[in-house]
């Protein structure tokens, strides 16, 4: 069904995700635990994980890649975890700036919808 530009009535359940320091601490712990597991299982080398963390810390991906290429590090590093850590840091900053004890993100889980004419 093509719905772009259509008026619709949606019935659903409003869901709230409350992000506070405890939520962010837990997410960070899970992310760093996943990194340790990946290294232990040999999916990537420890140098590759450190390279990804270095990209996150230094900010300029191009500069870090050039530096690591000179040092002989792998150029193509999965920076999924460093991306998550960047997102966690960004949410921490937003939370601090808000002055509240949590951030709230709302979504609607659609149960049914009707196209209005």
Sequence spans of domains, the chain: 1-20+102-117, 21-98
What pLDDT was estimated at residue 56? 47
| Alpha-carbon distances of 3 from 11, 12, 65, 103, 110, rounded to whole Å | 16, 18, 44, 31, 15
Instruction: Please say whether the beta carbons of 115 and 8 come within 8 A.
Output: yes
Q: State the CB neighbour count (10 A cutoff) for residue 4.
A: 4
Q: Where are the alpha helices (DSSP H) in the chain?
A: 21-41, 46-58, 61-71, 80-98
Token pair listed for 85: 């850590």
What pLDDT was estimated at residue 41? 57
What pLDDT was estimated at residue 7? 95
Task: Give CA–CA dist 78/57, Å, rounded.
Answer: 15
**Per-run averaged pLDDT (10 residues), the chain, 117 residues:** 90 95 93 68 51 50 50 46 86 95 95 93
What pLDDT was estimated at residue 61? 47
């Amino acid at each position: 069904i093509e719905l772009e530009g259509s008026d619709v009535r949606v019935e659903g359940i409003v869901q709230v995700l409350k992000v506070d320091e405890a939520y962010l601490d837990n997410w960070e712990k899970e992310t760093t635990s996943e990194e340790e597991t990946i290294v232990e299982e040999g999916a990537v080398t420890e140098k590759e994980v450190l390279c990804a963390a270095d990209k996150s810390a230094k900010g300029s991906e191009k500069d870090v890649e050039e530096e690591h290429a000179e040092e002989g590090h792998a150029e193509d590093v999965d920076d999924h975890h460093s991306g998550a850590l960047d997102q966690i840091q960004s949410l921490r900053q937003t939370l601090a700036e808000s002055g509240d004890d949590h951030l709230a993100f709302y979504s609607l889980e659609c149960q049914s919808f009707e196209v209005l004419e």
